[in-house]
Chain A
Amino acid sequence: MRGAAPILLPVALLAIVPVLTASNAVLNFLVAALLMALVGQGWNLLGGYGGQYSFGHAAFFGTGAYATAILQVRYGVNAWLAFVAGTLAAALLGTIIGALCFRSGLKGSYFALITLAFAEVLRIVASVAPITGAGVGLLIRLDLRPEAFQFQSRAPFYWIVLALLAVSLAAVRMIESSRFGAWLIAVRENEDAASALGVDVMRIKIAAMTVSAAITGAGGCFYAQYFLFIDAGIAYGPWISVEALVAPIIGGIGTVLGPLYGALAVKTLGELTKLLAGDAPGLDLVVYGSLLIAVVAFAPRGIAGTLLDWRERLRGRRAIAATGERSHG
Chain B
Amino acid sequence: MAEPLLRIEQVCKRFGGLLAVDHASLAVETGRITALIGPNGAGKTTLFAMIAGFSRPSEGRIFYAGADITGSAPHLLARRGIARTFQIAQPFAGLSVEDNIAIGSYLSHRSRTDARAAAGRIAREVGLGDQLKRRAADLTLSALKRLELARALAIEPRLILLDEVLAGLNPTEIERMIGVIRMIRERGVAILIIEHLMQAIMGLSDNIVVLSSGQKIAEGAPIAVAHDPAVIEAYLGDPALAEKLHGGAAP
Contacts and interface: CB of A to CB of B under 8 A. Distances in A.
Chains A and B touch each other in the complex, with CB atoms below 8 Å apart = yes
A201 B95 contact: no
A189 B112 contact: no
Nearest to B52: A196
B221 to A, nearest CB: 31
A107 to B, nearest CB: 16
Contacts of A200: 75
Contacts of A178: 112
Interface string A300-329: 000000000000000000000000000001
A297 interface: no
A201 B215 CA distance: 33
A192 B78 contact: no
B106 A195 contact: no
B90 A182 contact: no
Interface in B123-146: 131, 134, 138-140, 143
Interface size band for B: 35 or more
B92 A185 contact: yes
B188 interface: no
Q: Label chain A's interface by main secondary structure.
A: helix
Given A186-B92, A189-B93, A198 B112 contact: no
Contacts of B104: 197-198
Interface stretch (B17-25, B30-38, B79-87, B164-172): B79-87
B83 A189 contact: no
Given A182-B99, A182-B102, A189-B94, A197 B78 contact: yes
A193 interface: yes
B54 interface: yes
A177 B95 contact: no
Given A189-B93, A199-B103, A179 B75 contact: no
A193 B90 contact: yes
Contact of B86 (A177, A182, A193): A193
A182 B109 CA distance: 12
Contacts of A193: 86, 90-92, 151
A190 interface: yes
Interface of A: 177-179, 182-183, 185-186, 189-190, 192-201, 329
Interface of B: 52, 54, 73-75, 78-79, 83-84, 86, 90-95, 99, 102-104, 106-107, 110-112, 115, 131, 134, 138-140, 143, 151-152, 154-155
